[in-house]
Chains A and B, each alone.
Chain A
Amino acid sequence: MKFLKFLIVGIIFGIILVKSEAVSWYRIYEMFRFESFHMYGIIGSAIATGVILLLVSKKLRLKNIEGDLMSVPDKEKGFTRYILGGTLFGLGWALSGACPGPMYILVGTGVFTMLIPILAAIFGTYLYGVVKDKLPH
């Protein structure tokens, strides 16, 4: 039963992304051509709202469900891994028109061929795990 809250969050997340059309290959294409504000509005207002929510929770020292201070873990410091990994992901994001969340959501909307990129993504992650020690981070 402790997993129910996570299921509900996931369901709402899936609904938001479909209703906002953020799962649409066409919207991602349009975004990278700067031919609409829509996707920038979604991401920008999400960040603006997120900044405010997190700053307020820090100021008010709000606690999370486990009784600790609400916090986001620090990302590892670095540069190369972020710029290289990010670029590779960006190439795939634009080609498939979807990032991982939308890939799963789209299966829910009935696009079963999206299972191909999903399986390929799992394999891509596996490849990373195998070669990562040879890569600059």
Chain B
Amino acid sequence: MEYILQPWPWYVSGPLLAIIMFTLVYFGKTFGMSSNLRTLCAIAGAGKKSDFFDFDWKSQKWNLVVVLGAVIGGVIAHFLLSNPVDIDLNPVTVESLTELGFENAGKSLLPAELFNWEAAFSPKGLSILIIGGLLIGFGTRYAGGCTSGHAITGLSSLQLPSLIAVVGFFLGGLIMIHLLFPIIFN
């Protein structure tokens, strides 16, 4: 039980994620966590504005249930299955974060500097959260998938389009962290 309460190592988590993917394929579905964004738009009536959302969203109910499960999993893991422990970040990482204005890196899952209520509703903080979300919502649909659909499912099924998408993911991430963060968080 002790092992479960500690952070899980990569060589346990990775294979378990593959099993999740495989289980969904066994259920006749796929492992994808961004298509729900399109489903939610369809539910909200976006089908009238664009044929991209004009589909039978009820066929995607199973996927919304997976998302609901993920939220519950977050509750269970965070409140029931964890001893509070700092994230074992590289000290160099912590140092660079301090320089950008992020204190206490690793002492929580996310930086309070971006995600506490005060920050989230400050002009700059709100812009960051909104722009981040817009990029994710627009980018995942344009690319037809996110890390679950392309990096895990797509690469596991040896599909070239997913490799291109993952190259794109990394390009974007590297540009943001290395070129844009020093400007945004100066």
Contact = CB atoms under 8 A, between A and B. Distances in A.
A24 B70 contact: no
30 contacts: A6-B27, A8-B69, A10-B66, A10-B73, A11-B72, A15-B73, A21-B87, A26-B111, A27-B87, A32-B177, A35-B90, A36-B90, A46-B13, A46-B21, A75-B150, A78-B164, A83-B171, A86-B139, A86-B168, A87-B139, A92-B132, A92-B135, A92-B137, A96-B132, A101-B33, A106-B74, A122-B137, A125-B138, A126-B53, A132-B52
B52 A86 contact: no
The size class of the interface chain B forms with chain A is 35 or more
Interface residues of A, number: 112
A45 to B, nearest CB: 3
A121 B144 CA distance: 14
A104 B46 CA distance: 21
Interface in B97-127: 97, 105-106, 109-111, 114-117, 119-120, 126
A109 B73 CA distance: 9
Contact of B71 (A32, A51, A104): A104
Given A46-B152, A54-B22, A86-B171, 19 more contacts: A10-B67, A15-B77, A17-B74, A20-B12, A21-B87, A26-B106, A45-B13, A47-B155, A57-B22, A70-B25, A70-B26, A75-B145, A75-B159, A84-B143, A87-B175, A90-B175, A93-B147, A95-B176, A109-B78
Contacts of A120: 129-134, 136-137
Contacts of B78: 18, 108-110
